[in-house]
Amino acid sequence: MQDPIVGIDLGTTNSLVAFADARGPRVLGPGRGLVPSVIRVDPTGVVVGESAKAERALHPHTTFASVKRLIGRSAAEVRDAGAPQGLGLVDGPRGLAAVRVGDRTLLPQELSAHVLRELARVASAELGVAVRRAVITVPAYFDDGQRQATRDAARLAGLEAVRIVNEPTAAALAYGIGRGHRAAETVAVFDLGGGTFDLSILSVIPGDGTGLDGEFLQVLATAGDTALGGDDLDAAIVAHALPPYEAWLGGPATPQGMERLRAAAERAKCALSTVECTTERIEHEHGAWELVLDRALLESLAQPLLDRMAACCRRALADAGAPAIDRVVLVGGSTRVPAVRALAGRIFGVEPYTALDPDVVVALGAALQAQVLAGGRTDLLLMDVVPLSLGIETAGGAVAKMIVRNSAMPARATEMFSTGVDGQTAVKLHVVQGERELVKDCRSLATFELRGLPPMPAGIPQVQVDFMVDANGVLAVHAVERRSGRRAQVQVVPAYGLTTDEVDRMEAESLEHAREDMHAHRVIDLVVNARLDITWIEEARTRAGALLDAAYLEDLEGHLTRLKGFIALAERSPGQVDADAFHAAKDALDRASMRLHEAAIVQSLQSMDRGVKGVVQP
């Protein structure tokens, strides 16, 4: 690899570097790759990231965070906007916002350069070559001065900023919006982080589809609130919990106690993104205090914040000329809050995209833009058809194909499924991709659960599963149990991490194994259905066996034994099963059990004491 171009999300709180190649875009660096945008200037050197953040309280005067709020702005402007706490803002050269460390005055770009240098180091280490070029993202509302200052920061870090891209544009690119731009579309990018909220309305300009060049996604309007984010939600929880906490403490909370309460509030908030109710403990020497919170309470605490977000969205929509919104992209950790997602969906009238991690989506988009600028192949991402079949796992590890390969995008399919075990209250749905018949030979894309089903006998729940691949290749899978109305959903981008070679290999393998795969799938289905039949028949025999003669029952037992023999063989060595004979044995049992089923109906009608003698033909 020569002189790669990486994508960098230089954030207010955290920064990230990503890279895209034939396998698609990925974040670089250890763990989730998030580098806190925190810089400490020591007399002996500079500390960046996690350690600077962790030791912030020990070095309050030499540690800087939220530098992005200062970059390229005048000190007066920053003061008017309400300067961030603890940054030690001073007037720099030409009245620019700057900070002071000892007797030195530092410009924000000098501080940001340290973060960029750290990201370049991480990327170089992982890619094994020196990284000297980057696409860097900035908020859509950044003016020329702020963009130029960001370029300067890159230069100071030894990086060429090949292009400065708007964050919402990058987020849209990560979802494939705008590539091959088939038609005009309007996109809302909803970005809610820890401290800020940004809403952008973008327009996709239809073109010849020759490439991703930044200009085909135009910003129509932006609105936001630089003092609205997940931190405010934590603060609302703290305000609610403080009186009972202090009552338990028997006096006012110390600063340390307040910090522990805040941390518990944030943990509770994050937990409530996936569960309905949570308990967070705050340990003290004389015992533990419990913060108990459920989703409904969190939502009522969040309501004033949600109202402010809604007002911003409406303002941006009005500024953009009230267009109909075709897609909604979510960015920022706080968009994991279900009430926030629901708000975004309600205001714009479309279900938001959630397939990608909202913390990394901007960096991934920047990496894709970088890949195009580096002249890397983009054909992979420009597919207009579903490259490999999409399906779900069914009992026994078989795949039910929902959308077959080469279907034109957008594509859609709906099928009905049921349970295989009595009283099942949850169904696990496993979404897979590939041409083979068994799950073990396919690529796993996602799993999700449909929970809270009322217990019903096997086969009675009606689980309707919908697959929808939209024009950008984003797959949304919805499942709803029709009797109870319970629903669940998941989104994925099936083309991520897939190379054309891999697609070719998977197709070739499916041809090579076609015969054995078909056999294996058929045997699995036969086992599942035969088991259900046997369960039903044995139950009916327990209830109504007394109404039938011994010879019939003996004959039925023979059929049952034969079918059980096939099931046992299928479990031991499925390859040896004669599927036709298995099928015939199952049919024979089904036919033989007709009399039993009739008797079972008579028996249940008699037990209702209606005096019914028999069942007439339809």
| Residue positions annotated with a catalytic role | 9, 68, 167, 191
- Residues 131, 587: Cα–Cα separation, whole Å: 66
Rounded to 5 degrees, φ, ψ at 373 are -65, -30
The one-letter code for the residue type at 133 is R
SS3 2: coil
In the complex, what is the shortest distance from the CB of residue 282 to ligand AMP, in angstroms, rounded to a whole number? 17
Among 29, 230, 257, 434, binds ligand AMP (CB under 6 A): 230
SS3 280: strand
CB atoms within 10 A of CB 287: 10
| Contact status: 66 vs ligand AMP (CB under 6 A) | no
In the complex, what is the shortest distance from the CB of residue 410 to ligand AMP, in angstroms, rounded to a whole number? 30
Piece of the chain touching ligand AMP by CB under 6 A; list 37-45, 326-334, 399-407, 519-527:
326-334
In the complex, what is the shortest distance from the CB of residue 273 to ligand AMP, in angstroms, rounded to a whole number? 4
| Contact status: 269 vs ligand AMP (CB under 6 A) | yes
In the complex, what is the shortest distance from the CB of residue 104 to ligand AMP, in angstroms, rounded to a whole number? 29
- Residues 111, 156: Cα–Cα separation, whole Å: 10
Among 74, 124, 148, 273, binds ligand AMP (CB under 6 A): 273
| Contact status: 194 vs ligand AMP (CB under 6 A) | yes
In the complex, what is the shortest distance from the CB of residue 233 to ligand AMP, in angstroms, rounded to a whole number? 7
Piece of the chain touching ligand AMP by CB under 6 A; list 328-336, 393-401, 444-452, 531-539:
328-336
Task: Kindly state the helix (H) or strand (E) to which residue 63 belongs, with its residue range.
Answer: strand 63-64
Piece of the chain touching ligand AMP by CB under 6 A; list 157-165, 268-276, 394-402, 594-602:
268-276
Among 359, 435, 441, 470, binds ligand AMP (CB under 6 A): 359
| Contact status: 365 vs ligand AMP (CB under 6 A) | no
Task: Kindly state the helix (H) or strand (E) to which residue 142 belongs, with its residue range.
Answer: none
In the complex, what is the shortest distance from the CB of residue 564 to ligand AMP, in angstroms, rounded to a whole number? 48
Per-position DSSP letters for 18-38, written without gaps between them: EEEETTEEEE-SSTT--EE--
CB of 146 closer than 8 Å to CB of 106: no
Distances (CA, A) of 464 to 145, 326, 590: 54, 25, 27
In the complex, what is the shortest distance from the CB of residue 199 to ligand AMP, in angstroms, rounded to a whole number? 14
Piece of the chain touching ligand AMP by CB under 6 A; list 334-342, 364-372, 377-385, 575-583:
334-342
3-state secondary structure 352-416: CECCCCCCCHHHHHHHHHHHHHCCCCCHHHHCCECCCCEEEEEHHHEEEEEECCCCECCEEEEEE
Angle at 256 between CA 255 and CA 262, to 5 degrees: 90
Enumerate residues 421-460 that contact ligand AMP by CB under 6 A. none
In the complex, what is the shortest distance from the CB of residue 9 to ligand AMP, in angstroms, rounded to a whole number? 10
- Cβ-proximal residue to ligand AMP, closest one: 230
| Contact status: 333 vs ligand AMP (CB under 6 A) | yes
How many binding residues for ligand AMP (CB under 6 A)?
17
Q: How far is CA 81 from the centre of its chain?
A: 34
Piece of the chain touching ligand AMP by CB under 6 A; list 84-92, 265-273, 316-324, 427-435:
265-273
In residues, how long is the chain? Answer: 618
- DSSP designation for 494: T
Among 25, 108, 180, 332, binds ligand AMP (CB under 6 A): 332
The tokens describing 271, both together, are 């937990």
Distances (CA, A) of 572 to 519, 534, 567, 569, 577: 15, 19, 9, 5, 10
> What pairing do the DSSP bridges indicate for beta strands 5-10 and 133-138?
parallel
| Contact status: 231 vs ligand AMP (CB under 6 A) | yes
Piece of the chain touching ligand AMP by CB under 6 A; list 101-109, 224-232, 290-298, 421-429:
224-232
CB of 381 closer than 8 Å to CB of 409: no
Piece of the chain touching ligand AMP by CB under 6 A; list 250-258, 329-337, 463-471, 523-531:
329-337
| Contact status: 299 vs ligand AMP (CB under 6 A) | no
| Contact status: 13 vs ligand AMP (CB under 6 A) | yes
Among 4, 5, 6, 14, binds ligand AMP (CB under 6 A): 14
Give, rounded to a whole angstrom, the gap between the first and last alpha carbons of the chain: 73
CB of 87 closer than 8 Å to CB of 72: no
Burial of 567 (0-12, 13-18, 19+ CB in 10 A): buried
| Contact status: 33 vs ligand AMP (CB under 6 A) | no
SS3 318: helix
Among 270, 306, 413, 548, binds ligand AMP (CB under 6 A): 270
Among 109, 334, 472, 510, binds ligand AMP (CB under 6 A): 334
The one-letter code for the residue type at 425 is T
| Contact status: 337 vs ligand AMP (CB under 6 A) | yes
* Identity of the residue, 140 or 540, whose beta carbon is nearer to ligand AMP in the bound complex: 140
Among 9, 266, 326, 393, binds ligand AMP (CB under 6 A): 266
Q: Which residue has the tokens 């020196």?
A: 130
| Contact status: 330 vs ligand AMP (CB under 6 A) | no
* Identity of the residue, 337 or 526, whose beta carbon is nearer to ligand AMP in the bound complex: 337
Among 133, 163, 336, 541, binds ligand AMP (CB under 6 A): 336
* Identity of the residue, 147 or 336, whose beta carbon is nearer to ligand AMP in the bound complex: 336
> What pairing do the DSSP bridges indicate for beta strands 63-64 and 89-91?
unpaired
| Contact status: 169 vs ligand AMP (CB under 6 A) | no
CB of 227 closer than 8 Å to CB of 387: no
Residues near ligand AMP (CB under 6 A) are: 13-14, 193-194, 229-231, 266, 269-270, 273, 332-334, 336-337, 359
